[in-house]
Chain A
Amino acid sequence: MLSSIGEIGLNHYLILSAALFCIGMFGVLMRKNALVILMSIELMLNAVNISFVAFSRYQNNLDGFVMVFFVMAVAAAEAAVGLALAVAIFKRFREINIRFFEHLKG
């Protein structure tokens, strides 16, 4: 279990990461505003980054850091494209609601 309060181990970081991930996931599922959904996605990515860094740190291996670096770059790219889409949607509907992405409906 969470052993002694005073000592911070790998599991603490991992649980923090899981909590952050689930919070982001909750946002993605629940919010109507596309912008907030994008922010929630950033939260999820950061949660993953935390576990990467923690693992890397506790394994004495730099590969995790490199992975974090890549994740950050991809996340930035994703944010740019997502925001561009949001701008396009806003131009069309004057509102930024996930409902307007529903044209895939069969």
Chain B
Amino acid sequence: MRAPPTRPAGTPGGREPEEAEAGTLPLGFEALDRFMPMHVIVAADGLIRRVGPTWLRLRPRGELIGRAFLEVFELRRPTGIQNVTELPNRDGGRFSTAFRKGARGSFKGLAVHLGPEAGLLANLSFGISVLEAVETYDLSAKDFAETDLAVEMLYLVEAKSAAMAESKKLNQRLRSAKVAAEEQAFTDTLTGLKNRRAMNHVLMQLRSARIPFGLLHVDLDYFKQVNDTYGHAAGDEVLQSVARVLVSETRREDTVARAGGDEFVLILRDLADVSQLHEIAHRIISSLERPIPYNGKMCRISASVGLTTSEIRPGASIDQLLEDVDGALYASKRAGRGRCTVVELDRLRE
């Protein structure tokens, strides 16, 4: 067959004799089938004369050969073409199309004239719809030209999907691990103090080792006003400042925990002397009453404290101890705030 080159023969400067002399390339249909397994040759009358072998994997021969190209294929671009032989003249011969019937698929292609009044040669490809086509028609590597990167692309898609699936699983596991770690965490993230879980843990340890301890339950006074007046950022600043005070007023072996919102629990190891604990509580209250600067404003708070020791009710459970000290704290609140109340057995017996 004789096909005109797609660009003018001969390059400026270096003349290439063969190309310049002939301007055509003798190429057998068998070779054409292998080079372009998805070619279509359309005669001047617009009927499909010949198709590459891959087309026969898509449609029976009878639905292609001898049919009008525009009956089999619907042109998507360029539009408004009445006679298929005009195709090479528009848009440099580039076109996109789909089957009119059955699984439509989509193709992109390039059409060139085969000579004056001689019809056209079009080479088509699945483009990005190759994934779908391979599935629909169960295509194999043989159905693609040797130089076609379709199989490499399918390989890449599959390899990347496998890697992505692994990545998703890893993310899922990391998320579960994070949740588990948070559940097991012993630190309050805002203040850096121990959290309620750690507090329970320490109390349990001290109890089972029969180590005496003092317990201070500190609840901030007027904290809500700070939050309402200056905002949550100010509130957070105050909580952090409170944490610093509590840590500085206790020893390394003591435990300072944020038990919730503006509640703190101090566990003072080997210190069950009520008068000493009382003194510490008062020192803490007066430290906390020092105004805390925030953005040029002064935040004023105080604290109500409940006090108990492991010795006041030796047999009591930890929950009971916490309940006792909570009661003492509310006694401080009721009595006018900014003070410390010691759990009294007499009162407990009432």
Partners in one complex: no
